[in-house]
């Protein structure tokens, strides 16, 4: 069995130390940020979405798949995880969760 939930999508991750970034010249910071956006838009969305569709179709030929699971119940079960995360990380964590949720709706 395989269930398509689309809840984890991390093909492209770019991280940097805020302290180190602050020491870089403004033009270098801009180049890093601009390239991160490009990597996400091209690699994570355009290329990866196509590859995921192809991989999912291949998987569906070999196992029973659920392409439209009950997402509402999944989100309901994940609620305490997000609450715990926000409790541990405070306003910054809450802002992160809200940004991710807004991106999903966009």
76 and 52 within one domain:
no
What's the confidence (pLDDT) of residue 6?
66
Q: How many domains does the chain have?
A: 2
pTM: 0.45
Rg (CA), the chain: 18
What's the confidence (pLDDT) of residue 31?
95
95 and 60 within one domain:
no
DSSP-derived 3-state class of residue 57: helix
57 and 27 within one domain:
yes
74 and 63 within one domain:
no
28 and 15 within one domain:
yes
Q: Bridge-partner residues for 3, per DSSP?
A: 66
What's the confidence (pLDDT) of residue 47?
78
23 and 10 within one domain:
yes
DSSP-derived 3-state class of residue 65: strand
77 and 46 within one domain:
no
Domain holding 39, by residue range, is: 1-69
- Measured in whole angstroms, the distance separating CA 20 from the mean position of its chain's CA atoms is 24
Q: Which helix (H) or strand (E) holds 22?
A: helix 18-23
d(CA 13, CA 98): 19
- pLDDT per residue of the chain (106 residues) written in tens, 0 to 9: 888 776 655 566 677 889 999 999 999 999 999 988 888 777 777 777 788 888 888 988 999 988 788 878 888 998 999 999 999 999 999 999 999 888 877 5
65 and 85 within one domain:
no
Q: Which residues contact 40 (CB under 8 A, 6 or more apart)?
A: 12, 14
d(CA 85, CA 30): 30
What's the confidence (pLDDT) of residue 11?
60
59 and 8 within one domain:
yes
64 and 20 within one domain:
yes
């Amino acid at each position: 069995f395989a269930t398509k939930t689309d809840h984890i999508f991390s093909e492209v991750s770019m991280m940097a130390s805020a302290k180190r970034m602050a020491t870089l010249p403004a033009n270098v910071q801009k180049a890093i940020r601009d390239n991160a956006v490009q990597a996400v838009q091209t690699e994570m969305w355009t290329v990866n979405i196509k590859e995921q569709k192809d991989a999912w179709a291949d998987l569906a030929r070999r196992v029973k798949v659920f392409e439209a699971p009950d997402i509402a119940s999944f989100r309901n079960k994940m609620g305490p995880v997000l609450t715990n995360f926000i409790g541990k990380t405070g306003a910054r964590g809450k802002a992160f969760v809200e940004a991710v949720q807004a991106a999903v709706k966009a």
